[in-house]
Amino acid sequence: MRTVTRPTGGHLDVRPLTGADERSVGAPTRLEACRLAARVASLPPRSATEVPLVDIDAILRVIHEALYGDRVSSEVACRGCEDPLEVLLSLGAISEPPGELPVDRVGEVEYAVHGARFRLPTTADVIAVDSEPSEHRGEALRSRLLLDGELSVDVLDAALDEVACCHEANLEVRCERCGATTSAQFLLHEHLLRSIAMEQRWLIREIHLLASSYGWPLADIERLTRTERRQMARLIQADRAGAAP
Ligand SMILES: [Zn+2]
């Protein structure tokens, strides 16, 4: 169990991932990421979409650190020659807020800037705004978050960057081969869910090994933490390798 300090205040206990959690991971969307965070941090599923994204991201970061560490390595195709380019970053380095606006905290999830009050965005806000045409999304988010006063979309964006900095980054990667510069966007929730989904084939293999060796029902095996399951699968493989003629 790990304890997460919520950026909005207080703490949450995050339990280790089980096979059932790993199998539950679907498309790398904000909603799926919210569901995973709610499972492992025991947030009430119905209200989890109302939890600020910055808190959800703090949970996702703890999951990422437990599974893969703080470093992220991913690939993007070069814009010039289409060669794969490696993108390396540290989660700690991209979660630092820029801190350029005089934004004041006025409650757990409410802030004030230039005399206007706004609240922090949630998964429900992202889902609602995503259904709008892309050119209207900034305005749609502004009208959902603004509680009092007037704020332009740009000022609200800058204020959110300062107080609700999620684990996102826009990176420029230069290709050694052709010299072209390629933009790469990193979103923690997408990266984490994709990484877990890619490992689901190993999960099935590990479940099969445990089920065929111990005769345990699927539900029992899925309740094991990822670490326990992997250790047992390794032992079974070692036994089988030792028993082979
Ligand atoms: Zn290139």
Summarize pLDDT for 56-92 with one digit per residue, the tens. 999 999 999 999 999 988 889 999 999 999 988 888 8
| Any domain includes 99 | no
What pLDDT was estimated at residue 211? 96
Burial of 191 (0-12, 13-18, 19+ CB in 10 A): buried
Are residue 194 and residue 204 in the same domain, yes or no? Answer: no
Can you give the pLDDT at residue 219? 95
Provide the domain limits for residue 231: 200-243
Contact 73, 87 (CB under 8 A): yes
CA of 78 to the centre of ligand 1 (A): 5
What's the whole-number mean pLDDT along residues 161-171? 80
- What's residue 27's pLDDT? 94
**116 pLDDT higher than 70:** yes
What is the chain's mean pLDDT, rounded? 91
Domain check: are 9 and 55 in the same one? yes
> Which pLDDT does position 245 carry in this prediction?
64
Residues 192 and 204 in one domain: no
Q: Tell me, what's the pLDDT at 166?
A: 72
CA of 214 to the centre of ligand 1 (A): 50
Do 69 and 61 form a contact (C-beta atoms < 8 A)?
no
Distance 75 CA to ligand 1 centre (A): 13
Distance 186 CA to ligand 1 centre (A): 19
> Domains in the chain: how many in total?
3
Residues 81 and 128 in one domain: no
Q: Do residue 88 and residue 172 come from a single domain? A: yes
Centre of ligand 1 to C-alpha 181, Å, is 8
Residue 228 resides in a domain: yes
Q: Could you tell me if 191 and 86 lie in one domain? A: yes
Task: Taking residues 22-33, report their average pLDDT.
Answer: 95
Q: What is the CA(27)–ligand 1 centre distance, in A? A: 29
For residues 141 and 156, membership in a common domain is answered with yes
| Pair 67, 153 in one domain | no
Q: Is residue 152 part of a domain?
A: yes
In a domain, 142, yes or no: yes
